[in-house]
Amino acid sequence: MSKLDASRPTTETGRQYHIDCAKGDMPRYVLLPGDPFRVPVIGETWDSYREVAHHREYRTARGMYGDAELGACSTGIGGPSTEIAVNELAAIGCDTMLRVGTTGALPAHIRCGDMIITSGSYRMDGTSDRYVDRGYPAVADYEVVMALMTACERLGVTYHVGVTASVGSFYAGQARPSFDDYLTSDKKHLIEDLMMARVTNFEMESGTLLTLAGLFGLRAGAVCAVIANRTTNEWHLGDSEKQVARVGTEALGILAEWDRRKNVQNRTHLLPSLLSASR
Ligand code: URA
């Protein structure tokens, strides 16, 4: 039996301990839903689908969408489990990670069923603080933001782009009265204060994902389907999981195509001129 390393935990067969995957198991482009049961929902939007592993909250799968090889890995809810997924996926070669989740919108005009594309996250998560202080920005990669906008346009989906408050709490931290109506006075104006700062939405994973992606040199972004509006008090799931899966899949397909163009033109960054150039 080989000696295992507590600082880089793997299984006996050298697989990443939590996601139970090794190098070569997953392609470079990966969608990150929170819920393991959304992984097969994502697979329904691909041309082929194969489950790779399922250990604890981490369910992984891969498949083809057109010419692009895509993967999906559930992260569980919140920063700590997302931190594990991002680290272990990066360790096996995934370099483009797109969170596909659900969210609570703040302004009244954003409706349930719309998509919110995160331009950057207000780090209210806690997990990313363990890596770097809050002055470090959690920004979405501009190529991922553009690919998401293009995907929504192609699919005819209503979308908004803005700053996301990424919180390490679903109840009190998002100004919801918790058990026995526990809600401290500092939370009573949280939503209006965030709206004053033009924050568009609440969710729970993008702050960790985008901070770690910046620190590790990965390309990352987030798109969430609106299932709640905290001003109008609307709560509606509808087919949001399917819609966000379609948007995420389309966006990764677009990024793969743009990467091919960059390779052909020997460019490291996407420029508008590359998009207008003939293939
Ligand atoms: N996810 C969140 O974090 N908040 C919501 O209100 C809805 C989904």
Q: State which residues form the domain around 74.
A: 29-173+182-262
Tell me the three state secondary structure of residue 77: coil
- The confidence score (pLDDT) of residue 278 equals 56
HSE toward the beta carbon, residue 218, CA cutoff 13 A: 27
Angle CA 167–254–80, to nearest 5: 25
Q: Is 101 contained in some domain?
A: yes
Can 241 be counted among the known catalytic residues?
no
- Which atom of ligand 1 is nearest the CA belonging to 167? 3
Q: Is 270 contained in some domain?
A: no
- The confidence score (pLDDT) of residue 4 equals 87
Residues with a CB atom less than 6 Å from ligand 1: 102-104, 170, 174, 202-204, 227-228
Domain count, the chain: 1
- The confidence score (pLDDT) of residue 254 equals 98
Q: Is 33 contained in some domain?
A: yes
Cα–Cα distance measured from residue 97 to residue 68, given in angstroms and rounded to the nearest whole number: 14
User: In which residue ranges of the chain is pLDDT below 70?
Assistant: 1-2, 277-279
Q: Which of 35, 99, 102 to mutate to test the pocket of ligand 1 (most atoms within 8 A of CB)?
A: 102
pLDDT digits (tens, 9 = 90+) for 189-240: 999 999 999 999 999 999 999 999 999 999 999 999 999 999 999 999 999 9
Cα–Cα distance measured from residue 154 to residue 26, given in angstroms and rounded to the nearest whole number: 27
Can 134 be counted among the known catalytic residues?
no
- The confidence score (pLDDT) of residue 1 equals 52
Q: Is 21 contained in some domain?
A: no
- Which atom of ligand 1 is nearest the CA belonging to 203? 3
Catalytic position from the list 15, 62, 219, 230:
230
Can 176 be counted among the known catalytic residues?
yes
Q: Is 194 contained in some domain?
A: yes
Cβ(205)–Cβ(34) below 8 Å: yes
Q: 200 alpha carbon to ligand 1 midpoint, in Å?
A: 12
- The confidence score (pLDDT) of residue 242 equals 97
Cα–Cα distance measured from residue 146 to residue 157, given in angstroms and rounded to the nearest whole number: 14
Q: Is 204 contained in some domain?
A: yes
- The confidence score (pLDDT) of residue 2 equals 62
Q: Is 44 contained in some domain?
A: yes
Please count the other Cβ atoms lying within 10 Å of the Cβ belonging to residue 23: 11
Q: Is 167 contained in some domain?
A: yes
- The CATH number assigned to the domain holding 104 equals 3.40.50.1580
- The confidence score (pLDDT) of residue 264 equals 94
Can 54 be counted among the known catalytic residues?
no
Cα–Cα distance measured from residue 174 to residue 177, given in angstroms and rounded to the nearest whole number: 9
